[in-house]
Structure 1
């Protein structure tokens, strides 16, 4: 398996480590030959009340870079293969890891919340437009339930993606190895309590 990771920060490091741990398993089952993983994390704190043009430009540019990278990846991806039943299977996948729970904007990362919503839309569009050569999915932190939100310190929502130990690798394994999965937004439970 050949994997390309785009992004930076601690979440990228966690995803890279989990992919290394899964590599032998993924190669053995032959579920995907090529993988493009994008990691989207907040650049800097910003709000709609005091928008920082540079931060917003960076968020918009990041979406553009992901779109261009996805198109390039699609152009050079191997053709799909057929399984024993004749079903067409993609041999390449794009997986977006987004450090923002959909519909739960952190108070200090407005541009990131908007970029995350755009990337979720892009995931679903790419799954339709790039099939059958590619599967395209996203992994996001789970949106806490209303009851759980009442127990969470507000500043806890402004921290980086902090999944419950072991859950990110389980979700990566599922997304990569499930051949019929495309256009899906997978949620990973977070550890938000002290």
Structure 2
């Protein structure tokens, strides 16, 4: 009984911590370790395998030319140092690789970054979450999906099918990407390109 109680506390603690964390808390080295749930450790550590599987599936499905045309966006090794991104309005373009359709590009939607928080503002599947300091090349985003007409976003950790774990990287001046390894739905890898809104 005592062991079961300790396990329950361990599983709930990261969720409770996220509910009260601030951007300053999330910027502390290794703070993300206390926020990532055990069930997401494999996605966190096997991100490169997700890239390779997704690219192989897209090419095998006849989308090799589309993958090549995207250049750095779909290159797992294209990230540059210093992923910091200014607060503001952005345009988010999503590409899903390796799902039922090997290559699926969705229309761009408006999104916003403010005080370490990312949110897509339109679309049937909208990601929202908080950035955590990870290393000198990537930030870690922990968040969740909102669907359809739902208002607001669920917190990370409430529903495994909605949870989002993603890496945020800089590709060049005024260009970034979010990559979601092994998302719960529709793909082996989801890539979201961010560019400043016009």
TM-score normalized by the length of structure 1:
0.24
Task: Give the structure with the larger helix fraction.
Answer: 1
TM-score normalized by the length of structure 2:
0.23
